[in-house]
Amino acid sequence: MGSARSVGELARLVGGMVEGDEHHPIHGVADLSGAGPNEISFFAHPRYEGMARQTKAGALVVGSSAPKDLGRIRIRVAHPSAAFTQIAALFAPPVSPPISGIHPTAIVAEGVHLGRGVGLGPYVVIEEGTQVGEGTQIGAGSFVGRNVQIGGRCVIHPRVYVGERSRIGNRVVLHAGAVVGADGFGYEMKDGKHVKVPQLGYVQIDDDAEIGANTTIDRGRFARTHIGEGAKIDNLVMIAHNCVVGPHSVIV
């Protein structure tokens, strides 16, 4: 957890109104049943009113219609769940520490362009013709193929595969084991045998998308498989060749 913040600071962060001691220190976040006196929780639905009255949380983020007699310091907002998420981000440690520099075991082909502040973990491989934007982090054992474009401030976790010609936007997160740009599954039957159809396209992932662990996205047959801006895809999802996932979609 991060350093202590006062209830007043948290209220200002989310544009809420404090009801109670705005100087009360908060050291972290928790759910209603597990929160302690120096933690903050949230109450967003009437079905949880009993828990909200019994919680030991030092403060609660509540909605505009929540009761005023809950017996806890309150930050009143229009959308308590969203506000609590914003507060929780203050106390959340980084998912993994930033990678500093280029690890000596990384293999980077000639002609690869690495932007300022790029971090490459142990045994990363990047093939020729690829560009990696400023501040992007690529975790241990990841492979990036030929002529790939990766934007800035991306986080590519360990053991990710990014196939040739893939185009990755800015601030994209690829979780461990994700496969982007693998061969699409395409065959024709000829003379009683399966004949492989070449998959000549690529994968495009737009800004702020997040791809879950061990998810696979096949490249298009002729053009692109497209993941739109801000899309969120859960773990163990398979996106077939030529699919289009719209902006801000969620797939679980």
Given the structure tokens 């702020």, which residue do they identify? 208
Nearest to 61 by CA among 1, 10, 107, 129: 10
Residue 96 pLDDT greater than 80, yes or no: no
β 173-174/210-211 pair status: parallel
What is the predicted pLDDT for the residue at 97? 72
Average pLDDT over residues 207-230: 98
Residue 219 to residue 198: CA distance in whole angstroms: 11
What is the predicted pLDDT for the residue at 3? 80
Average pLDDT over residues 65-93: 95
Residue 137 to residue 172: CA distance in whole angstroms: 11
Residue 1 pLDDT greater than 60, yes or no: no
Please report the DSSP string for 92-119 in residue order.
Answer: PPPSSPPP-SB-TT-EE-TT-EE-TT-E
Told to judge if 241 belongs to the known catalytic residues of this protein, a careful annotator would answer yes
Q: What is the CATH number of domain 107-251?
A: 2.160.10.10
Q: Which of 27, 45, 241, 248 is catalytic?
A: 241
What is the DSSP code (8-state) at residue 7? H
Residue 217: which residues within 8 A CB-CB, separation 6 or more? 178, 179, 180, 181, 182, 203, 205, 211, 225, 227, 239
Cα dihedral across residues 10, 13, 17, 22: positive or negative = positive
Cα dihedral across residues 87, 92, 96, 100: positive or negative = positive
Check residue 200 and give left, alpha or beta (phi > 0: left; psi -120 to 50: alpha): alpha
Q: Where are the domains positioned within the chain? A: 5-91, 107-251
Identical fold for domains 5-91 and 107-251, yes or no, is: no
pTM of the model: 0.84
The CATH architecture annotation of domain 5-91 reads 3-Layer(aba) Sandwich (3.40)
Encoding tokens for residue 38? Answer: 């120096």
State pLDDT tens for residues 111-162: 999 999 999 999 999 999 999 999 999 999 999 999 999 999 999 999 999 9
